[in-house]
Structure 1
Amino acid sequence: MITPLPFDSSLFGYAVGKCMVGEEWSQSDFLEAARSFRLVYLFSEEPLPIENSPIQPIDLRLTYFKNLKRQNANSAEIHSYAGTLTENLLNLALESGVFSRFHTDPNFVNLEFEKLYQRWIEKALTQHEVLLAKNQAGLVTCSIAEHDAQIGLIAVQKDQRGKGWGKKLIQAAENFAIQKEAQTMTIATQAANLPASALYKSLGYQLIERKYIYHFWR
């Protein structure tokens, strides 16, 4: 019922697991199985009927999808970045996660959000997945597995918003993916992040999944 998550457990310093909620899910059985975990993420296709429970709703994740059929006009303002992690890049990575459940859940009190997103941008740099706008106005990361691409982090500096950087970053990521023979792109965001959803829809992305996420804390 609960799958241990060694990476999260090691990074956070306590036992973390995940539970994919199915039709046979039982809250009482889950609570019994969760006794050996400090934190468990629960993922459900539908809202869970929980009352007076340590299981708390924390996020509604939306996943968008698009077939990549042609390249956009290349922007000279965005380029692949192969350098080291800078303070500005780290700040952009953290800015990309302000709607994240790791940022909004008040039970994270040991810099879990900062640790996770720093590790995320470090990994993207190692794998050459970072695209950076000029003057570090924004960044996007794009990972590719076979013919499927996925945008991970995307953020624009606060003083650069409203200038079209979000659209340019997405299109640059699409070009990057197409050049590596990807055929599709997915992007996940939070339902609370209304500007992101509006941007993705305007660029032809379709909503393909809604996932209700809960956190159990012991």
Structure 2
Amino acid sequence: MILELMRDLRSFFDYFALRHRVIQRVRQSDPVVYVPEGKDSVQRILAHLTRTSPDVRAVIAHPGAMAAPALLTGRTGLTYSFDAYIHSDPTTLARFLGLGAPGFTIFVKSFENAPSLADLQAVKRAVEDLSQSTRIPPARVIAVWRARGDASIAPDAYEFLTREAVRVKLGGSTYVCSIELAREGDDGTYDFVPVVVDSVRLPGPSPAGA
């Protein structure tokens, strides 16, 4: 029991450290985030991720680490469509013994118009199902859209983004990851909702209602 808990703790801290590096550049960068060049919103957000995160840049350099677009099958057997999927596989020790880096995934979904509450709820369900299938915790889940004028998301969608998160229980740990909305404005800048936070919970049983 003690050895199992130690493995879960080590796996959690490996994931926490890696996820922190993935998002650290966002916190340290200028508050104004400019949209890079690219043929569409997906290519532009991928360019932003590789520009701001050495970990993402290193993973994408490996053949097969990114699919764009991607059709992925979850634990339930349902197939989901994402515009980009990046994965860093766990080490062999992590997969079988819970020791070492647990890996991470990044999901990108683009929308022609402002995503609705139902759209965001569907993204959440898909990522949770897929993470249970791959047994790899998500590090970033990004919904991206190109806004026209002062177009914005509905209040219920905004509340969902700021209050809800993807939750995945793997082994003895529950991983929590915000769903981010990356809004491309006419001024050539991104507006992220919410601002990314480290929200991974320590290993252990989930509290009631979580």
Q: Which has the higher contact order (CA 8 A, sep 6+)?
A: 1
TM-score (norm 1): 0.30
Structure label with greater radius of gyration? 1
More strand by share: 1
TM-score (norm 2): 0.31
